[in-house]
Structure formats: structure tokens, C-alpha cells
Structure 1
Amino acid sequence: MTPSDYIAGAGLSFRPLSEALDDPQGRIIAHLRRPGAVDLACTADLRGEIALYETPQGDPPLFVSYYTTGTPYEDLAAELRVSLDRHGLPHRIEPVASRGSWVANTGLKARVIQTAWHDSDRPICWIDADAAILRPPTFLMGNPFDVAFVRRDGWEDISYLIHLNTAPAVGKLLAEWVRLCDDHPHVWDQVLFSLAWFRTARDTGLASQWLNGGISRTPRPKVRDLRDRILHYPFGRKIRPFIDQKQASRQLKAYVNASARRKDEIGTDDLDAGYRAALAGYDFGFDPRLDAIIARRA
């Protein structure tokens, strides 16, 4: 199955990127990078995305995660494993020793994913240890895109859930991400993942799907869950979430850190406005060096 076949099941199709960028009726949900040719993109409104997510088209990927031993993530990973088993989803969840800080620990993600990708004969899906499966993620079953992850506001790449297929271009992306994480342990993993995607797509054909953040439930009052079940999900006004994203890092980062935040720690908020615009506009002529994508600090 091709990406075009996959989205056609929900009544969607690709068109030239320039047309998709000018579409005010929906967001870009998929991109076909074609160096030397015209890039293609698919736009959809919320109802179109819901139709796509609710249509299983194949087997599930291998779910991959890790947790740092001797930290609260160990118990969270156990809850993740239970949720995967409940839905019959294959998984590989590994223990690792803490490197002493939250940022350094997240930097292990790229190498763990790369190892699992090389070991597996099927697509893999990274999922953070502080998440859990609420219902079978049908949108990942038989998903033919090279890579699929949440991209928010056209530029902010979120790395808590990353689906990776078996194409050679994915191996290239992972190798670049691992190298960046090894060279820059003070930079958040999702900043470096974004840069690895950008560098790979600059020169390589790559089929990418931008998942909607609504696939996940984030911590909120139970009354909002009740409201959504009654007023929104039945009428296609919101995506009924597949993933419980607990966002434990917001509470546990201080616990894991051996010291205060390093002065040179770089996160998503530090990304340069020019790089954000390049991602949103698919401008692969932007300087792909790390120091070029980081805003200058006073």
C-alpha cells in the first residue's frame, strides 16, 4: 500500500505543495518530499482526519520504549506494558541506567529506537514510558508512511510517539538523529529529531504524516472527559483519543536531574523564528546547522 492508497480510504488525496500551503480549509496532514521534483501534500479538515484514523488497514507496528531504572518511570513503564498487552499490541520495553539528568536520559531515545529498528523486520512505533494505550491505534496499523509523528502549528515536532517504517530513508534519518544526540547531549531529543528530519528530507525522498495532537489525552479534569464523550466525539467535533499521555516529565524532571538545568540546555522554545518558518513553509534551503536553528540568546 502506498501513502496515496492509504489516505484515499478516507477520501483524501495529494496535490502540489504550493496549493496545499494556500488552502485555508484544512491543515497539511501529510507531505511527500521529492527532491528534484514538485513536493506533494495532503490537507484535511478534522472530519477527514478522524475518518483516516478510524480505518485500520493492516498489522500493528512493534511498540518500543525504555525507562530509567530506579526512578518513577519504572512504574510508569509497567503501566504502559499492561496497556499494550490489554490490546494485544507487540512491544519491546527496555530498562536503561540514568545518565543523571532528564535531557541526557531523553538523548538515549534515538539509539534505543535505532537498535530496535535494525532488529525488527516490521515497522516500529516509539512511545514514551509515561504514556498508555486507551484503545487500539488503528491509524498505525498498516501505515505506509516512512515516518509519522505529531507536528504542531506547522513546525513544532513532538517526539512522544513516532511511527517508523522499514524504508532505507528511515535508516538515514535515524543515523542522523543518533549522531546529533551523541554530539549534543544538552539539546532536547525532539529538537534534534526535528533537525534530523529536516536534514534527511532536504536531500532524500521521504513520506511524512503529521499526526493530530488530538490522538492523545493529556491530564485534565474528568468533567472535560465526560463533556467530550457526550458533546464532541459522537458528532466528529474532536478526535476520540487513542493514547493517554500523562506528561510525567513535567513533575519528574526535577527528580531525575542530579542538578539544576544547565545554562546551555536547549529546548523547543529556543528554536529560531526563521527555522520555524522554514519547517512550516517546507523551505529546505534554510541553513541546516544546529547553531543556525537556535535563536541567539542575549
Structure 2
Amino acid sequence: MTTIEDFLGATGLHPVPEALASAAQGKSHGLAHIRRPQSVDLVANAGLRTMIDLVETPRDPKRGPLFVSYYTADTPYEALATRLKASLDRLGLEHRIEPISSLGSWVANTGLKSAFIERVWQESDRPICWVDADAEMLRQPWFVHDNPFDIAIVRRQGWYELSGFVYLNKTPATGRLVQRWAQLCRENPHVWDQVLMTLARYETARDHALNSLFLPDGIFRFPRPVLRDLRDRLFYYPRKKKMRPFVDQKQASRTLKSFMDKSGKRDNERGSNDLSPEFMTALSTYDFTRAFTADSIFRT
């Protein structure tokens, strides 16, 4: 198994105070966090070119995860999941994509994600990688092959974590995180799953060693005009001014949410944009001294 140091290559790990000071002076971003509850946490910062080199590095495809997803049966997501499956087959990536029954609400349906992931993680004898059903894999995601981290997740602004693509290693620390995430989703069906995933990761890291890799959102291709794709291919990707995406994230939920919400929007739905400044600051500064709850992470 590749070590974290070997995986990161020339990107060094530094104590949190030093890493935060370095990030404040330049254009580097948090790439990895090594949680050491009884010592000083370590952080790896990296600029865009370094991140591109890391995700582009070929790794052993025989040590890849099982790609997993589900879709709500008898909805437009079924056709989208078929396209996801075809993209995984094209790249030779083993997968498990299952149908489920809709609960009648988009938020409630996304909450099923953690329960599904908990089940397939327990049943799998190797790491898994969740991909939203409304996505397609564009090319080989080398960064989840032979990956030694407990979790790899897309993160923006040092706190905004996206659950559309999540790598979960087969480690005890990951098991605690997955179990807690599923429990939080059962207890808080009105809260977005990705928010509760962030809280589960925070709670797990507060008391246990947890190694997190923070992927840039450049791994996603979000919906945009064709001319922008052409511009990026011609001018930005060759010069490493932008990351060439790995996942075509269609964001179908933005157009299908009303279709899924048979009973309309719930007044108490909570999402990432509702998080409190205190929780965002704790995440971005790697401060695990706070005892946040599913209620206290939001603005009052």
C-alpha cells in the first residue's frame, strides 16, 4: 500500500499553524489533513499546478475502489444512471449501481445516500467511491487508485464539502465516519446529506485519527456553454491554468428537484449555505475543539 507521503510526492506536510500561515501568504490551498488528536495535526498545501500533477499521476488500477451509486426508480434519474454505468464500463471501472424507491422528497431521497453507502461499504472488501447517478466519468480517476487516505472529498473555500464524488477507504476510521453519517441522516431528514457528511467527518476527527484528502472542484465539469469547453481545451489545460475534469456533473437535481418533491419544499430544509460562520471557521482552520451538533452548525 502506498504511504501518504509517497502519494503526496513533493508536497510536504506541515503543522497546522505553519500551514495556515503559508496559505494566507500565497495562492495555495489545503490539499490534505492528517488528524492527530494527541499531537499536532499536519496539513499539506498545494497550488493548482501541484494539484493537477497529483491527480494526473498514474497509479495501480488493480488497487482501485468499487464505484457505487443508486437512482430512484421510475424517475428521470434511471436514464442518467444508465449513462453513468456506460462511462464506468468504458473505463473498465468495477461498479455497483442499484435502484431504490423514492421517498417523495428530494432532500429525503438524498438522505438515503448515507444509508446506501454504509451498507455497500460494509459489504465490500475494498474501498468504495460514490458517484452521483446524474454524473458520468470522463477519464480514469487515478487519484482514487491505491489511495491511502481514509476519505477523499471535493472541498471549496476550506469548508464547503461536496458529496457528489466521495472516496471511502476500507479503514476503521472510515467505518466510524460512515456509520455516524448514516445515523445523522436518519435523525435529521430535513438536512442535506453533504452537510451531515461534513459534520460526521468533523465529529470523527475530533476524537480519532483521520486522514482526509481534499480534492479541488476542478475534477468536476459543471454545466456550461460548449465554447467554454473549447476555450479551456485550447488555452488552459495545456498550460495547466485549469484542471481537465474527470467527472461530468450534470447537476440534474437543479431541474428535477420539483419533479421529486411531490409534497413541495419543506420549510425547515437546511443546506450548505445555511452553515454558521463559527462552523465554517472551525473547518477551515482545522479547529476540532468545538462540540458542534446538527443544530448548532447552522445560523440562528
Asked if 1:62 corresponds to 2:71, the answer is no
Cα distance per residue 1:253-290 (max 9 Å; x no partner): 00011122111111111111111111111111123211
**Aligned-partner Cα distance in 2 for 1:33–1:162:** 19
Asked if 1:247 corresponds to 2:251, the answer is yes
**Aligned-partner Cα distance in 1 for 2:143–2:173:** 21
Is the CA contact (8 Å cut-off) linking 1:126 and 1:160 kept in structure 2? yes
Asked if 1:22 corresponds to 2:24, the answer is no
Q: Secondary structure at the match of 1:266?
A: coil
1:99-248 paired onto structure 2 within 5 Å: 99-248=103-252
Q: Which amino acid aligns with 2:209?
A: G
State which drifts further: 214-223 or 278-287. 278-287
**1:6 matched to which residue of 2?**
7
**Aligned-partner Cα distance in 1 for 2:42–2:205:** 13
Q: Secondary structure at the match of 2:67?
A: strand
Shift of 1:22: 1.0
Q: Which amino acid aligns with 1:40?
A: L
**1:269 matched to which residue of 2?**
273
Q: Which amino acid aligns with 1:213?
A: D
TM-score of the pair, normalised by structure 2:
0.97
Cα distance per residue 1:62-110 (max 9 Å; x no partner): 1000000011000000000000000100000010000000000000000
Is the CA contact (8 Å cut-off) linking 2:66 and 2:126 kept in structure 1? yes
State which drifts further: 107-116 or 52-61. 52-61
Cα distance per residue 1:124-172 (max 9 Å; x no partner): 0000000000111111111111000011100111100000001100000
Cα distance per residue 1:207-254 (max 9 Å; x no partner): 000000001100000100000001000011111111100000000000
Asked if 1:53 corresponds to 2:52, the answer is no
Is the CA contact (8 Å cut-off) linking 2:188 and 2:294 kept in structure 1? no
**Aligned-partner Cα distance in 1 for 2:287–2:16:** 11
**Aligned-partner Cα distance in 2 for 1:60–1:235:** 29
Question: Which one of 37, 46, 51 corresponds to residue 39 of structure 2?
Answer: 37
Is the CA contact (8 Å cut-off) linking 1:30 and 1:43 kept in structure 2? yes
TM-score of the pair, normalised by structure 1:
0.97
Structure 2: state its 5+ residue gaps: none
**Aligned-partner Cα distance in 2 for 1:157–1:53:** 18
**Aligned-partner Cα distance in 2 for 1:289–1:186:** 14
**Aligned-partner Cα distance in 2 for 1:293–1:35:** 21
Number of residue-to-residue matches in the alignment:
294
What is the alpha-carbon root mean square deviation over aligned residues? 0.8
**Aligned-partner Cα distance in 1 for 2:295–2:67:** 33
Shift of 1:57: 2.1
**Aligned-partner Cα distance in 2 for 1:269–1:6:** 33
